[in-house]
Amino acid sequence: MKKKKMIILSGPSGSGKTTISNYLLSKIPDLKFSISCTTRNIRNKEKHGKDYYFISVKTFISKIKKSQFVEWEEVYPRVFYGTLKSEIYRIWKENKHILFDIDVKGGLKLKQQFPNNSLSIFIMVNSIKKLRKRLIFRNSENEEKINLRLNKAKKEQEYAKKFDFVILNIDLLKAKKQVTKLVSKFIHHNNNE
């Protein structure tokens, strides 16, 4: 029986964690993406049940009250993100390791709950100016929301040292390869119980 493991990728919005997550999924067949719940609006080509479970604030709060989340966070006012307990069990039942692309506080909560079978990686950019360019290039939010994300990013950078590894994403291909190496080593090391 494979030891059930989880990979926690966190970092500021625009740091490249989703791009790196997609790369990991294409390179490591034993990984399966954990689909989070969110109350935010769907962006561009996102799909319900593939990228996120897009639900109302009312439904999200109902799930909190029923203790259905392993972790959740009100990331911005009335914008919630959370990981359903059922999502973790669904993936482990498929005998796969879980990949989380998750906000910083949510990532730390997961690490705290699963310290022995999780690897946490913080994706960082070298400047807020570069982060702003990436968020503008994404073309999915107005100036006010971009500024909100940048202010949050400044605070999130302070949590980087609490993660197992910090990867500076200046060269995306290099960052992808560094993360893949770390994840492969973690998954294959001591994989049998």
Q: What is the pTM of this model?
A: 0.84
pLDDT band at 193 (very low <50, low <70, confident <90, very high): very low
pLDDT tens, position by position, 120-163:
999 988 766 776 776 777 666 777 777 777 777 777 788 889 99
Query: Domain 6-188 adopts which CATH fold?
Result: Rossmann fold (3.40.50)
- 47, 5, 187, 31 alpha-carbon torsion, rounded to 10°: -20
Question: For residues 153 and 97, what is the distance between their CA atoms, to the nearest angstrom?
Answer: 28
- Share the mean pLDDT of the chain: 88
Strand 79-84 and strand 69-76: the pairing is antiparallel
Q: In the chain, where are the structural domains located?
A: 6-188
